[in-house]
Chains A and B, each alone.
Chain A
Amino acid sequence: MPDSERPDLVTRREAILRVSALLGGAALVGQTAMLAGCAREDVAFPAYSADDVALLDEIAETILPETDTPGAKAAGVGPFIAMMVVDTYDQREQQVFRAGLQTLESECRSMHGVSFLSATPEQRTSLLRKLDAEQLQFMHTAGKREPAHYFRMLKELTLLGYFTSEIGYTQAMRYIETPGRFDPCVPYEPGEKTWAVHA
């Protein structure tokens, strides 16, 4: 079923929902064209360098830092983002993403006078909060066929990479491979973690 997964829905349709939800749903970057069945140009961008991956790791860690549970870096989100961009983004999206990393660096320098990797955690956070507000504004006004804002891409892939990692499943959330039963209605206390849905 469908659609946003199995909005949820059910069963096969659920599978649909799940998968597209996993990738962010039809609204997700990289998905619109393929769901529409359009042809996409193929892409042969070079893989990301170790320096790029280190930067991605730090950006991801700033979005989802270590708290009581490990952060994005420990969950391997930097390498995951680099792989996903190359393997699943179309050419325009990849261009936006690559250019975005440079924009992020120059925004950091103009805001804090240092590179992102040299910035303090507070400086990193204040920069990304600004970019986050910017991307949300952009996404509300951008046309459907336009590539997403680069920080939207970074944020989506960080969330996806983190919450679908082993750390995400088993530490940020709760996951039992074989629940063995279904309880349709159980008490929930605020603060308790999500039961991970995707088997």
Chain B
Amino acid sequence: MPAEEFDAIVVGSGISGGWAAKELTEKGLRVLLLERGKNVEHIKDYVNARKAPWEFPHRGGRTHAMEEAYPVLRRDYPLNEKNLDWWASDADSPYTEVKRFDWFRGYQVGGRSLMWGRQSYRWSEYDFEANARDGLAVDWPIRYADLAPWYDHVERHAGISGSHEQMPQLPDGQFQPAMPLNCGEELVAGRLKNFFDGRRRIIPGRVANLTEARPGRAPCQYRNACWLGCPYGGYFSTQSSTLPAAMATDRLTLKPFAIVTEVLYDRDRKRASGVRVIDAVSEKSIEYKAPLIFLCASTLNTAWILMRSATDVWPDGLGSSSGELGHNLMDHHFRLGASGKLEEASLEKRYYYGRRPNGFYIPRYRNLFGDKRPYLRGFGYQGSASRSDWQRAVGELGIGGEFKDAMSQPGQWEIGATAFGEMLPNHDNKVSIDESRTDKWGLPVLKIDCATGENERLMGLDMKNDMAEMLEAAGARDVEPYERGYFPGMGIHEMGTARMGRDPRTSVLNEWNQVWDAPNVFVTDGACMTSSACQNPSLTYMALTARAADYAVKELKRRNL
């Protein structure tokens, strides 16, 4: 049977792949969207979203059985009783850690767009210029102006709520109204303006939760249960946003349980011709053909596919001619910050209503506007203020009826924030194929060798101390800096391994996200990133994907692919 043919194949259905499918189908292409995991239908399959919290037997916690089944996932919060179904099985898909690397994966339609944190920040000119300015790694082949219209485009469709702040390091966008700061946060934000030259500012988090309805989607209902799937479509996911748009064109074919094992490469035409897939259920091998391929399999799996492709021409895989394929893996280092108590009498008679799935943000201020630190780049903070609840009772002396009734009332206001820091690109942080181990489908696994360095260590000191300093300046009491321990991957912001650049000798992709060695293969997920900035990266993947899709269709029509 001849291979099925499409106008384009998109590999992966998460944030990037969903955008590729939407943009390409809307521009008239018949698209095959391949997903390695199961299907998750919008609303219908959000089986845990309607459960009351007390219906989870361990109340969301984790059991011995879960820990045993998920030796990686258990290293941090993702191992939990409530949405375990959406985290990939460590047993089915092992990987090799040369150094500890926490790889938290989502193998289903929608990928991690179902569980993501939804914080959505534009990168700025400072970020795209960073490598050139510091003489580090390679220069980004694009600047902010190249991406700005595409940020506009994706923000309008995805629905990002946020405030306009006129901060050059964090450009404003096409926002829906912001989710406001609560009174504790407002108090601290107001005081902070009087310190540090007003450079450290608390603003509402910019988040992919609607505050106004979009077609087919209701605004956020303030349940704060996003990671169980939203029956209202209140937050951006593939299911709520890009997949319905692609489906509406009637040009999308979605195939779950399709594990792409390589890009098929035609060495005569110097172009990809399609992909090879293993059916995750039947384990049959299948080929699909198309003149255009978008790899959006998530950073590390995209690298894995490239490294297994065209090995008859390049032993290290498609895109390896530069020597950079698999290298320059990055994440955001974090888990450092501070918390404190707000004892103002004015706050004791203040509370809030509704469970806001968002908090505040403090945009980067280090190494900007004349500030100079002993490290490169910077970090931003995400935090929130709230009144304490019954959990405070654990550490307090007391039993009995009065104690119980007191703990049923809100306690003191508390505030805290965690820094997310930029991680420098480093050639030595790399992935490769481990031929000695295989996964459930007999495929060789990925080997990850990645560590933070001196720049991250030095930045970490500021990440911890600055927050304590700000809280103290703003009048918080009992301020406690914290450092909870970080290993690469924990940020779940994997980036790099197929970086964009200006020169095929030092980069894997060009300015349009095309693989230099196969111009009809586009990589638009986190693998393409040339540096990591400190902002949450997903919005940038969306914009890069939409921009690349627009270019790809034009090139296809010009018969350049």
Contacts and interface: CB of A to CB of B under 8 A. Distances in A.
Given A169-B53, A177-B52, A186-B350, A10 B398 contact: no
Interface stretch (B54-62, B190-198, B458-466): B54-62
Given A13-B418, A64-B404, A136-B397, A34 B62 contact: yes
Interface stretch (B73-81, B138-146, B302-310): B73-81
B353 A181 contact: yes
Nearest to B420: A13
B560 interface: no
A8 B384 contact: yes
A152 B173 CA distance: 50
A156 interface: yes
Contacts of A87: 58, 63-65
Contacts of B205: 10-11
Contacts of A192: 351, 409-410
A194 B223 contact: no
Interface residues of A, number: 90
A10 B389 CA distance: 16
B484 A26 contact: yes
Nearest to A59: B399
Interface in B397-452: 397-401, 403-405, 407-410, 414, 416-418
B76 to A, nearest CB: 7
A1 B418 contact: yes
B391 interface: yes
B482 interface: yes
A189 interface: yes
B61 A179 contact: no
B352 A2 contact: no
Contacts of A21: 391
Nearest to A151: B399
Contacts of B383: 7-10
A192 B408 CA distance: 9
B367 interface: no
B222 interface: yes
B130 interface: no
Contacts of A11: 117-119, 205, 207, 226, 357-359, 382
Contact of B53 (A128, A139, A199): A199
Given A182-B180, A184-B182, A194 B350 contact: no
Interface residues of B, number: 88
B225 interface: yes
A37 B74 contact: yes
Given A34-B67, A179-B222, A183-B353, A63 B382 contact: no
B335 to A, nearest CB: 6
A67 to B, nearest CB: 4
A12 B225 CA distance: 10
A14 B404 contact: no
A154 B423 CA distance: 43
Contacts of B186: 184-185
Interface in B157-193: 179-183, 186
A181 B222 contact: yes
A161 B393 CA distance: 13
A144 interface: no
A132 B397 CA distance: 7
Interface in A61-96: 62-69, 71, 83-84, 87-88
Interface string B358-386: 11100000000000000000000011101
B464 to A, nearest CB: 13
Contacts of B335: 2-3
Contacts of A83: 57-58
Given A8-B386, A159-B394, A42 B64 contact: yes
Contact of A185 (B115, B118, B183, B414): B183
Interface string A121-164: 00001001100110010010000000000000001100111111
Given A19-B61, A132-B397, A185 B404 contact: no
B348 interface: yes
B68 interface: yes
Contacts of A195: 351-353, 355, 410
Contacts of A14: 224, 357, 359, 384
B52 A10 contact: no
A42 B69 CA distance: 12
Contacts of A172: 390, 404, 408
A124 B352 CA distance: 38
B354 interface: yes
Interface in A1-46: 1-4, 6-28, 34-35, 37, 40, 42-43
Contacts of B389: 163, 173, 194, 196-197
Name the residue in A6, A25, A132, A193 with the highest tally of chain B Cβ atoms < 10 Å from its Cβ.
A6
Contacts of A40: 64, 67
A43 B86 CA distance: 27
B85 to A, nearest CB: 15
Given A19-B80, A185-B350, A199 B60 contact: no
B418 A178 contact: no
Contacts of A26: 484
30 contacts: A7-B416, A10-B360, A10-B382, A12-B116, A12-B118, A17-B77, A20-B77, A21-B391, A22-B59, A24-B391, A24-B394, A27-B395, A34-B75, A129-B399, A159-B390, A163-B389, A163-B390, A166-B54, A172-B390, A178-B222, A179-B223, A179-B354, A184-B183, A184-B352, A185-B183, A185-B350, A190-B409, A194-B390, A196-B389, A199-B225
Given A9-B359, A34-B67, A182-B179, 4 more contacts: A3-B335, A19-B77, A164-B54, A195-B351
